[in-house]
Amino acid sequence: MSYYQHHVFICTNERHDGRPSCGACGSAALRDYAKKKVKGLGLAGQGRVRINNAGCLDRCDEGPAMVIYPEEVWYHYESEADIDEIIAEHLQNGRVVERLRI
């Protein structure tokens, strides 16, 4: 059994060589929003959901990017509304958000 039901890794990597990066797309603020939202909904903690910062996930061209385990589902997101949808659909209801999947 996993320690967490869902483990979410959100890339906040910033590249300084001209290539796209998730960090340049505001991913750190959206990670903070996701953490606060999950805690506010009472979903955080052992056996539930963990939101983690991640270094480069090497999908910046499709980013900002996140991956949710154990399902190994990758998402692109751009706004708090996208984060809300991923939380409601994937984390709470077990349905992949196909429109955001990468």
In a domain, 1, yes or no: no
Q: What is the pLDDT of residues 18-64, one digit of tens each?
A: 888 999 999 999 999 999 999 999 999 999 999 999 989 999 888 89
CATH of the domain at 73: 3.40.30.10
Q: Is position 65 within any domain?
A: yes
Grouping H, G, I as helix, E, B as strand and the rest as coil, residue 9 is: strand
Structural domains in the chain (count): 1
- Structural domain including 50 reads 6-100
Closest CA to 8 of 79, 80, 63, 87: 87
Residue 44 within a domain? yes
Query: How far apart are the C-alpha atoms of 93 and 91, rounded to whole Å?
Result: 6
The answer for residues whose C-beta is within 8 angstroms of residue 64's C-beta and 6 or more apart is 10, 11, 22, 25, 26, 27, 30, 76, 77, 78
Instruction: Using the predicted structure, report yes or no on whether residue 1 has a pLDDT greater than 70.
Output: no
Map residue 23 onto helix, strand or coil: helix
Residue 90 counted as domain residue:
yes
- Within a domain: 73: yes
